[in-house]
Amino acid sequence: MLLFGFVSLLPAAEPRPNVIIILADDLGYGDLGCYGHPKFKTPHLDRMAAEGARLTQFNTPAPFCAPTRASLMTGRYPFRCGMTANPAPDGGPVADAVALPASEITLAQLFKQAGYATGMVGKWHLGHRTPAQMPTGRGFDEHLGILYSNDMRPVQLMDGTNVAEYPLVQATLTRRYTERALSFIERNKTKPFLLYFPQVMPHKPLATTEKFYKQSGAGLYGDVLADLDASVGEVLAKVKTLGLDERTLVMFTSDNGPWFGGSTGGLRGMKGSSYEGGYRVPCLARWPGKIPAGHVSHAPAVMMDLFATALKAANIAPPADRVIDGRDILPLFTSAAPSPHAAIFGHQGPLLATIRDARWKLHVRAPRDGMASLHKPGERWVDPRGPDGVTILAPYEQYQPSEHPGLRTGDAPQPMQLFDLQADPGEQRNVAAQHPEIVARLKTLYDETNRQVPAAPEPAKAKAKPTK
């Protein structure tokens, strides 16, 4: 009896936190109001930034989809986790076979082993041919979504390993994904959960429901962003309504820079580019009671850090038998802590192309902006393939803005270009000749990591449709 009385006075163990990661598709660094866009209205994401933290130097390890998503799921650079190209069911046999290696350990597997409910809603793009490659084969208890990009054929909505809908009306996807995410949160409100929510938009083909269509005053892209923003608002409201606010870490970001209709916020390049417009994306985090409201960090961070941060928040150990490149960035979300990285690297396909630190960026390989050829002034974009005869694509018009989403000016690309990102975030002036010591220091760091990069695997050599 005395023992019972003593035990009852001990403080209750703090509940394990929930983790929600929301990933937009092709959202540009300058697309949100809280990152300075003058027309696009994103009040819920702006409020998330006001109530939490915003990073201004957050990077993806590659300017394309699947490599970045693999890094988020594994905490490892694409060259380490074996995912340097995009799977594509309509891209030929090599691209069709691309998948995250079975030897890689995902964030979902680690959370599941720790007793968490694990749910995913949205785009996977880490393998689609077998059940073992799908989300429910990689640690998620459930998944609703498309297994690859929404412009790859066939566009099928999957529920677990089953086709839930085909043909598919894409205008309803953001809404349906949101409803499933809210359902997952409701069903798991009494136990800790991990929700990975990679939304479909604003990847082309752009589409939204009648509620948002032509309502933003900022074109179809603005309509789509309003839909995406409302989705985030509903997730945050659900968490608050259920009383989970103070034990739920919510992180929001994008898989790469913008493509059709987006904005880099004055950065050079776009999706697919090794300039900042390809790599730098928004990143927000909210955790009332843990993350102070309105905090802004200018310290560089990278996508793999969300893997490490989620694990740290949940007190789950990362795998000890492999290199984990991600670092816990809760200190960046909560204080003026410096970057945990001496350097951050940027991929182009299977190869490392760039290295940057808090101020300087070295393009060891000549900068690329290959997607720019698709943006011809005055021309409207038309998918040359058209509908596949079965799939119903977005019912609204698609368009190709004549304006490139990022800067197209500046010194001509060449190898070993150095840019001062503090003074010249638009990468206009190559200052390698003025700072040979900086070039040498960064090249030494680059060489140390580049020696670990394997020879280009066959899928990366093939044309694996890396632009989706």
> Known catalytic residues?
65, 125
238: its two tokens: 């659900």
Spatial neighbors of 414 by CB under 8 A, at least 6 apart, are 366, 430
Distances (CA, A) of 170 to 79, 221, 235: 33, 15, 21
Q: Quickly count: other Cβ atoms within 10 Å of residue 237's Cβ.
A: 12
Q: Quickly count: other Cβ atoms within 10 Å of residue 30's Cβ.
A: 23
| Beta-bridge mates of residue 419 | 361
Give dist(CA 310, CA 192) in Å, integer: 13
311, 74 in Cβ contact below 8 A?
Answer: no
Which pairing describes strands 301-302 and 58-59: parallel, antiparallel, or unpaired? Answer: parallel
Give dist(CA 225, CA 223) in Å, integer: 5
Half-sphere exposure of 29 (CA within 13 A, CB side): 28
* Rg of the chain (C-alpha set): 21
Distances (CA, A) of 47 to 30, 56, 57, 98: 16, 16, 20, 38
16, 314 in Cβ contact below 8 A?
Answer: yes
Left if phi > 0, otherwise alpha if psi is -120 to 50, otherwise beta: which for 144? beta
SS3 helix, strand, coil % of the chain, rounded to 5? 30, 15, 55
Half-sphere exposure of 317 (CA within 13 A, CB side): 4
- In the DSSP assignment, the letter for residue 13 is P
Give dist(CA 258, CA 64) in Å, integer: 10
Residue identified by tokens 């309003």 is 226
Alpha-carbon torsion (430, 421, 348, 266), positive or negative: negative
242, 65 in Cβ contact below 8 A?
Answer: no
137: its two tokens: 């084969």
Spatial neighbors of 75 by CB under 8 A, at least 6 apart, are 107, 304, 307, 308, 311, 318, 324, 325, 326
